[in-house]
Amino acid sequence: MRPPSFLFVCLGNICRSPLAEAAFVAAAERAGVAVVADSAGTGGWHAGDPPDRRSQAVARRYGVDISGQRARLVRRADFREFDHILALDPQNLRDLHAIAPADASARIALLMDPVPGRAGQGVRDPYYGGEADFDEVWGDVSAAADALVAMLMREGG
Ligand code: 4NP
């Protein structure tokens, strides 16, 4: 059986969603749970670019190398190919619903929803911020990753 698949979506796919993908893959590996994961953006300005160097730096501080990731735009096929599409913030969620094709099968939700006390909230865009803002993003996406993996383990994969 194909492992459950997750697509993490922010605006540019260079700051937040690469970290969400990386934290989720790391949490799943620690738990021994097989998953498929990718990330994408609702905007295409950075398509083909590696993650923002500040995201690469915070990932490296937490032991994860995301330098090989490349930004891409969300595509129509994603809505059928992924089981879950998780938006990093409420605007990303609205944009996803607006572009979802009629035959979309993916469950579309907000990344932070399963984190206690954070339902309905977004991961703040750190693009115009500094190192502390990227650290906060890592904390948020790690909490979400742990919650998602815990849900997968309860469901038996
Ligand atoms: P992200 O951050 O959505 O977390 O990747 C941003 C990256 C680029 C831009 C905005 C947000 N931008 O406007 O280029």
**pLDDT at residue 150, as a whole number:** 98
Sheet bearing 84-87, strands edge to edge: 36-41, 5-10, 84-87, 107-110
* Contacts with 132 (C-beta within 8 Å, 6 or more apart), sequence order: none
The two three-digit tokens of residue 121, written as one number:
């909230």
Mean pLDDT per 10-residue segment, the chain (157 residues): 96 98 98 98 97 98 98 98 98 98 98 98 98 98 98 83
Between the CA of 154 and the centroid of ligand 1 the distance, in Å, is 34
* DSSP one-letter code for 73: B
Nearest C-alpha to atom 3 of ligand 1 is from which residue? 11
Separation of alpha carbons 33 and 31, rounded Å: 5
- pLDDT score at 77: 98
Model confidence, pTM: 0.98
Give the distance (Å) from ligand 1 centre to CA of residue 125: 7
**Best probe residue, ligand 1, of 125, 128, 140 (max atoms within 8 Å of C-beta):** 125
pLDDT at position 82, please?
Answer: 98
Residue carrying structure tokens 């950075």? 46
pLDDT given at position 11: 98
Q: State the catalytic residues.
A: 10, 16, 125
Contact 95, 17 (CB under 8 A): no
Q: Which residues does ligand 1 sit against, CB inside 6 Å?
A: 10-16, 45-46, 125, 127
Question: What integer pLDDT is reported at residue 157 of this predicted model?
Answer: 45
Closest residue by Cα to residue 5 from 37, 41, 39, 40: 37
pLDDT of residue 1: 79
Ligand 1 centroid to Cα of residue 16, in Å, is: 8
